[in-house]
Amino acid sequence: MAENRASADGTGYGEGVPCWVDAQLPDVAAGQRFYGELFGWTFHDRPDAHGSVWAHHEGRPVAALAHKTDGRMPTVWTVYFATPDIEGLADRIWAAGGQVVTAPVPVAELGTSALVTDSEGAVFGLWEPGSHPGFGVRHEPGTFAWAELYARDTEAANTFYGGLFHDALFGPEAHPDFGRALVSDVFPDEMPPHFLVHFGVEDCETVLGTVNRLGGRVQAPPFETSYGKVAVVTDNQGASFAILERSER
């Protein structure tokens, strides 16, 4: 699948475009130390964003870190897809066999968010922008680079997301930014379907060394994909993500 690479110039993102990511962490301060050194992020408290901390790369917002209030919930990175009509999209997800985990809720004047699943149970977010369109920059080292859906049934995934986000995936302006693969391509068979957030890096091997030094670990060593060299890691609290060294560099 391919996806529309919209600009991050403040004009907003089209429906179905990954526009934001956040991490739910037990210790946000520890997350700031880890990601601050790994990607050079700086951080700003945002009490208007449910008390989360926003990460900035060269002064532009790229992600949020939030305190995980329920210890039973996973420590994860979540990708959010843009929509101009979050209520309508949530209804379409339900009709397509997905679930609404958290109903749409306003986040001050910033926008409206929701958490949903696809027909196989992979969790992702929805974002209807207010004053916050999403990423201020992406596709650069230290910023969002790709979202990979690891599914058990790739044809079902094609049908589900193609029905929801047809223009973003197949329209004339579509470019690779969101793909899918079998869970078993990278992970154990028992791993549930999920999205894996990728961040861009200049040198995969160097960043892996920093991950280890900061207390993270390597889940999958570097492997080649159609969009670059990828390694899967966890941070110092167990949240999984991937690093991507683009092949066209």
In this structure, of 89-98, 166-175, 215-224, the range with the lowest mean pLDDT score is: 166-175
Structure confidence at residue 69 (pLDDT): 82
Q: For residue 170, is pLDDT > 80?
A: no
Q: What is the mean pLDDT of residues 104-122?
A: 97
Count of CA atoms in the C-beta half-sphere (13 A) of 92: 15
Contacts of 72 (CB under 8 A, 6+ apart): none
- Residue % of the chain over a pLDDT of 70: 92
The mean pLDDT value of the chain amounts to 91
Count of CA atoms in the C-beta half-sphere (13 A) of 231: 21
In this structure, of 11-20, 36-45, 106-115, 145-154, the range with the lowest mean pLDDT score is: 11-20
Structure confidence at residue 205 (pLDDT): 96
pLDDT in tens, 55-84: 999 999 999 999 998 878 889 999 999 999
Structure confidence at residue 177 (pLDDT): 83
Q: What is the mean pLDDT of residues 84-108?
A: 97
Q: Domains, the chain, ranges and CATH?
A: 12-129 (3.10.180.10), 144-246 (3.10.180.10)
Contacts of 248 (CB under 8 A, 6+ apart): 228
What is the C-alpha to C-alpha distance for residues 148 and 225, in angstroms, rounded to an integer?
11
Q: For residue 140, is pLDDT > 80?
A: yes
Structure confidence at residue 35 (pLDDT): 99
